[in-house]
Structure 1
Amino acid sequence: MRHLPRQVLLALLTVYVVWGSTYFAIQVALKSFPPFLMIGSRFLVAGGILYLWQKLRGAANPTLREWRDGGIIGILMLGGGTGLTACAQQYVSSGLTAVFIACSPMVLSGLSGLFGDWPKRREWTGIVCGFAGAMLLASDGQFSAQPLGILLLLGAIFSWDIGSVLSQKKLSMAAGGMGFASEMLVGGLFLCIVSLLRGESMHGEMTWNALAAWAYLVVAGSLLAFTAYMYLLSKVPAGLASSYAYVNPVIAVGLGVVFGGEHLSGKALLAMLIILGSVVMLTTARQPKVKESNA
């Protein structure tokens, strides 16, 4: 970490802290917003703001191919990844959701192997241990009572990681903020269309807490943290970029227990420690190298 550029360290810190708190923010926003509408409108607004900001700075519009590639990544990462996570949080607490999402680096390591970058022995050990921890967590009271929540989270993990790998290996978005804006605009529009097709509508009274949580997701979760994550994917290996997964649960669990009245059983705590340990093993298995940039 000491040898990483300051911009990379700042991006890592942003993703670690902000995304750790967004699980709790989603839980609060869901009290008034339906899941797909909440996430879709979040990314549409954030993408629109970022797009206008880039145009004011003189950035060129993405080409048709860059819109296509950014759209594919946006639908996978935002539509499938974030959208399904929000749906899952209707059944599972924010803290345990964050812990389960910590399995993401294991899936990402396996998917990278399909492009010739197979995990090393220590990484395979981390993957096996992490899978065992995930199964232990799935048998906990909250998860075992809500099998739909597990399926939604598994779908979210695979969708997010497939999008992450494709953004590194196959697809090419527009450079800089315009690429992130196109990704959020297409992903947000996709989620709003899904919301419309599902017949979602606002439920319950619109509270200031829910509105503030939604605004926090737009500004901090999307404009800051998501942009920082996409920057990391363009600069560092996927394992280091996804290392947020073992920091987020600590923050999410703490916020859920202190402010959300959530409880953590002994079995869930043990599973969490196994998962986090395996992710640390995965992310420290290789010496990180920052990718050179022509910019």
Structure 2
Amino acid sequence: MNSQRLAVTSAVTAIAPAVWGSTYLITTEFLPPDRPLLASTLRALPAGLILLLITRTLPRGIWWWRAVVLGVLNIGAFFYFLFLAAYHLPGGVAALVMTVQPMIVLLLSSALLKDRVRPVHVASCLLAAAGVALLVLQPHAGLDGVGIMAGLLGALSMASGIVLTKKWGRPDGTSLLTFTGWQLTVGGLVLLPVTLAGEDLPDHLTWGNIGGFAYLSVIGALIAYVLWFRGLSQLPALAASFLSFASPLCATVLGFLFLDQTLGPLQLVGAVAVVGAVVLAQPRTGRPTHTPSRPARSTTRA
């Protein structure tokens, strides 16, 4: 893959975490209050079922349990721990805790994919963590043990999903839409009983609520995860992981544009540091990327 194609692939893949960064704005401005589990379930399950209805393909053989594992790690568990952390931590602290994700990907890629750990990768991890800290961490931020643990488990869940996605690829003859639908459906089904047990359903929904849920499901899940899985199939695991930093960056920009939040000099420095870390971590022409051992079209997955 030449440098121009790598740049285009990275830019298109970054659209997914940038869209995810809009979740905070949509949630606070359009969704019913205090319903994070309901939002995560309606974000995953309808999108997954729509894709299954379109593709009409279910997993076969070993891919039944692989689809379950990937759906839980990439969608179900990740969403649950993400919202649990958001309940117990200020947004900035939660985002900062999640910056350990590329570091976990770095270690797992070395162990499971035999990727070589380069000094530039370590430097990128440290630069990105510092950038996010400047970008979102506010003075007097509260710390909570449950929130910190949830954030770490969420980072571990997503990192594991990224690396296993690269390792397993996707089965022969399975489209990207099908593969994405499996995972969104599994994630939504895992979240559904937790939501019903842990939250009361709202008494009524406004058109704004319905529009917010539709945005999360169609744009924030169906389209965004197709783009994410497509990019992950073509980029090294660590490079794709770094693109997730577009999420806090986008959330900060949207807060500035629509919620009257201010951007100070340190936040601007943090934004530049995050962008620099993402660019630094991207592969260069001629650098080998991991190719899954399976003969399946593993270069196309989520």
Contact 2:75 2:184 in 1 (8 A): yes
Q: 1:202 to 1:146 in 2, by over 3 A?
A: farther
Q: Is the 2:239–2:278 contact (alpha carbons within 8 Å) kept by the matching residues of 1?
A: no
Structure-2 change in CA distance of 1:80 and 1:173 (3 Å)? farther
Q: How many residues align?
A: 290
Q: Following the alignment from structure 2 to structure 1, what is the Cα–Cα distance between the partners of residues 272 and 117?
A: 22
Secondary structure of the residue aligned to 2:244 is: helix
Q: 1:20 and 1:289, CA in 2 relative to 1: closer, same or farther beyond 3 A?
A: farther
1:189: which partner in 2? Answer: 189
User: Is 1:151 the equivalent of 2:149?
Assistant: yes
Deviations 1:229-281 (A, max 9, x none): 11112222123323422333332101123323445566666555545543433
Matches within 5 A, 1:20-39: 20-28=21-29, 31-32=32-33, 34-39=35-40
Closer, same or farther: CA 14–255 of 1 in aligned 2, 3 Å: same
Contact 1:76–1:163, Cα closer than 8 Å, also in 2:
yes
The match for 1:231 is: 230
* Preserved contact between residue 237 and residue 288 of structure 1 (Cα < 8 Å): no
Q: What are the superposed Cα offsets for residues 21-80 of structure 1, whole Å, 9 maximum, x if unpaired?
A: 23432444554362222212221100000011112xxxx432142121111111111122
Contact kept in structure 1, 2:59 and 2:67, CA below 8 Å: no
Cα 1:234/1:72, change in 2 over 3 Å: same
Cα distance between partner residues in 2 of 1:157 and 1:18: 18
8 Å Cα contact 2:162-2:232 kept in structure 1 = yes
Q: Counterpart of 1:123?
A: 121
Change in 2 beyond 3 A, CA 1:279/1:84: same
Question: TM-score of the superposition, structure 1-length normalised?
Answer: 0.79
- For residues 214 and 203 of structure 1, the distance between their equivalents in structure 2, rounded to whole angstroms, comes to 13
Q: Quote the sequence identity (%).
A: 26
1:199-237 CA-partner distances (Å, limit 9, x unpaired): 311358644333322211100111111111111122221
- Identify if the C-alpha distance between structure 1 residues 74 and 205 changes in structure 2 by more than 3 Å, giving closer, same or farther: same
CA change 1:151–1:213 in 2 (3 A) is farther
**Which residue of the partner structure matches residue 178 of structure 1?**
178
Conserved in 2, the CA contact under 8 Å of 1:106 and 1:279? Answer: no
Instruction: Supply the AA of the counterpart residue of 2:232.
Output: L
The residue aligned with 1:218 is: 217
Gap runs ≥5 in structure 1 = none
Structure 1 position 62 matched with structure 2 position 59: yes
Q: From the superposition, tell whether residues 154 and 286 of structure 1 become closer, same or farther in structure 2 (CA, over 3 Å).
A: farther
Q: Does 1:280 pair with 2:279?
A: yes
TM-score, normalised via structure 2 length: 0.78
Q: Structure 2: state its 5+ residue gaps.
A: 292-296
Please say which of residues 247-256 and 17-26 is displaced more in the overlay. 17-26
**Which residue identity is paired with 1:228?**
L
Separation (CA, whole Å) in 2 of partners of 1:138 and 1:3: 32
Whether the aligned pair in 2 keeps the contact of 1:98 and 1:252 (CA below 8 Å) is no
1:252-271 paired onto structure 2 within 5 Å: 252-263=251-262
Instruction: Give the 3 Å change call, closer, same or farther, for CA 271–3 of structure 1 in structure 2.
Output: closer
Amino acid at match of 1:117: D
Tell me the C-alpha RMSD between the 2 structures. Answer: 3.6
